[in-house]
Amino acid sequence: MRLFNKFLQDTNLRDPNLLNAEFTWSNLREEAVCCKLDKFFYSSDWEELFPNARQKALARVTSDHCPVELDTTKLKWGPCPFRFDNSWLNHPDLKEKFKEWWKHEEFQGWEGFKLMKKLKFIKEKVKHWSKEEFGDLGKTKEELEAKVKGLDLEEGRGGLDDTKRRERETILLQFEGLVFKEEVSWRQRAKVQWAREGDGNTRLLHKIVNGRRKRNSIEKLELEGGVITGDQEAIEQELINFFTKLYSSNMEFFKITGKK
């Protein structure tokens, strides 16, 4: 066991928490001995590929050991909310575009309603503009890498002329710009205040984001009747019902009191 523990430390393998059980084996006797013997181990590189991995114990019906399931499916909580990406602020046209969008539409109603409608209108404009201007950063990076690799191969076979060398320099500058945008985006998502400008350690930021995502996920929820469920559809419906009642009751309060 000492050798095995040393192997785990040397390889830096992760031991994920078992979400729904305290043990995976017992001796099935009156004075029960319970141990957590069955588990998965994985590397940090594997965790980056499957950030939503969850380890669960299944019912043991043919053995004194619990089967253990490693679930890597992504949790579905409906459409992702809109988030403004700080890397967009580096685009030279954004300020002028924003002014144009803000003056483009006028809405009727009380001031709070007009502000809400205008922000919703601008959100759609920003989403459409970001897709046109930035597209898929990961896909664009892969395309630029392929171009550089092709030029390098061509250089190895017979050299490059001035035009091809300038083309490679331009591609490398474009790639550097994409990496900077990616760093800004991950820094914002990780909410790391102490990350210095130009710090290229996106691996650390990936880990922080994945850790926060796991801590914020809801695996189980107690329903109104006291029943605890892990069914994702039931959890989603319970949350919708809760906030529907909450905001409906608040609206009734405002109507009764006459507050705005």
Q: Which residues pair with 55 in a beta bridge?
A: 18, 70
Token pair for 257:
């009191």
Percent of the chain residues topping a pLDDT of 70: 77
Distance CA 258, CA 58 (A): 54
Distance CA 43, CA 45 (A): 5
Other Cβ atoms within 10 Å of 79 Cβ, number = 6
The pTM for the full model equals 0.36
Whether the Cβ atoms of residue 26 and residue 34 lie closer than 8 Å to each other: yes
3-state DSSP call for residue 54? strand
Instruction: Indicate the burial class of 109 (C-beta count within 10 angstroms; 0-12, 13-18, 19 or more).
Output: exposed
Token pair for 245:
């009642």
* Average pLDDT in the chain: 76
Distance CA 217, CA 211 (A): 10
Instruction: Indicate the burial class of 205 (C-beta count within 10 angstroms; 0-12, 13-18, 19 or more).
Output: buried
Token pair for 242:
């809760």
Question: Would you say residue 155 has pLDDT above 70?
Answer: yes
Each residue's pLDDT tens digit, 168-207 = 888 888 888 777 767 766 665 555 444 444 455 555 556 6
Angle between helices 111-133 and 94-104 (to 10 degrees): 140
3-state DSSP call for residue 145? helix
Between 77 and 231, residue with greater pLDDT: 231
Each residue's pLDDT tens digit, 64-103 = 888 888 888 876 656 666 777 776 777 788 888 888 888 8
